[in-house]
A and B are shown apart, each in its own frame.
Chain A
Amino acid sequence: MGTKFNIIAVVGTTEVDLAPYPGGNATVPTGKTRNVYSWVLSNSSSASNTLTLRIYRGTTLEASIPITLGAYDTIDTVSDKESPILVVPSGRTLKAVASAASITVLMTGEDK
């Protein structure tokens, strides 16, 4: 069993790393997969906004996941340990960018 952690970020129009808090690395360690079991995504803007999660291998973009939120919208999704919402493979880096003003991201995860 791995150590559970949070990923906390306020994402704007500049791409940011989504790293475990505190002091974690956005790149998944070799031989592990990063499992995200829950997230809260909150759009603080008065217009709809798109959060794009990106999975990189080095500098290569492997996957891109756009999630659109309405004005002042909040999405919270919780899953059980056997079925994570997001699985980031070994050696990949999880990043995020928003189409407009900031989106608050809170995730819980575990490297296994």
Chain B
Amino acid sequence: MSEFYDWRTPIRALVLKENYNAALIFPVDVRKKPSFELFFFRVARASALKREYVLPELTSYPAAGSFFDFTFLGELGPGVGDDVFTMSEERPFRILHFGLGVYPPELRVYRQQPAGYTVTAWSRRVPTKLGDPVDYFTGEESPFEEPTRISETVMWYKGSVNFAVVNMAPVSVVPKLNIVGAGYDVVPITDRAVADKMVKGVLPCRFISVGGLAEVKYTVPDEWKPYVFSYGLEDVLRLLR
């Protein structure tokens, strides 16, 4: 098994270095004629991303006050103040790539990206409801001190991500999220021939599927739009070798 598919791979092992290539995969249509929009980038500069985000105290589930419903992580608390992942319009070619370490181990974290669409491994209609027994990760899977791949998230200017948390610990806790990863300044890859080589596996590239294969509405910066490359299912399948 590739370590990329090991959910417990530490996020620090997946963060890209300078001059590495990355591509974000956005599904456009996954039913009639599957097609995907890909944006290719080269990491020009990678800087460490680290922040501990402390949430207000939660009682033990299922009491009232044992969860926060889907909202953004605000500077002043969940859904309050500026989103901590706010990206400035002056830097459209900046991508955040991080994992979330979770405290306590019993805390469940549900994620929606883009906001309103639950990231799901199951074949349920999205968004799922808070408290569902599926589609979450816990502090067991992504420990506070060592966030793992299961919590891997990317953000970009005009992207959005929401979280919900439920305290399944037997006592009241002050939950914490340890945001660890890197912020990349990237340069777009403008040459289709180079992109083709990456898709064919000739040139190394880290492909990141955003939100899986659901048909959702994505927004990307206007500055990215000239550099979009569309690929069909067969091309994308090659990535999965």
Contact = CB atoms under 8 A, between A and B. Distances in A.
B54 A30 contact: yes
Interface of A: 30-32, 89-91
16 contacts: A30-B54, A30-B174, A31-B52, A31-B54, A31-B174, A31-B176, A32-B174, A89-B171, A89-B172, A89-B173, A89-B174, A90-B57, A90-B173, A90-B174, A91-B57, A91-B174
Contacts of A31: 52, 54, 174, 176
Interface in B167-200: 171-174, 176
B109 to A, nearest CB: 16
A71 to B, nearest CB: 37
Contacts of B171: 89
Interface residues of B, number: 8
Given A89-B174, A90-B57, A90-B174, 13 more contacts: A30-B54, A30-B174, A31-B52, A31-B54, A31-B174, A31-B176, A32-B174, A89-B171, A89-B172, A89-B173, A90-B173, A91-B57, A91-B174
A30 B55 CA distance: 9
A30 B171 CA distance: 16
Tell me the dominant secondary structure on chain A's binding face: loop
Contacts, number: 16
A108 B57 CA distance: 26
Interface string B31-73: 0000000000000000000001010010000000000000000
Contacts of A89: 171-174
B58 to A, nearest CB: 11
A56 B54 CA distance: 21
Contacts of A30: 54, 174
A39 B94 CA distance: 51
A42 B86 CA distance: 55
Indicate the member of A31, A32, A90, A91 with the most B CB atoms within 10 Å: A31
Contacts of A91: 57, 174
Interface string B100-137: 00000000000000000000000000000000000000
A90 B172 CA distance: 9
Nearest to B56: A30
A65 to B, nearest CB: 16
A7 to B, nearest CB: 21
A32 B176 CA distance: 9
Nearest to A1: B145
Interface in B132-185: 171-174, 176
Nearest to A62: B172
Contacts of B173: 89-90
Contacts of B52: 31
B236 to A, nearest CB: 41
Nearest to B171: A89
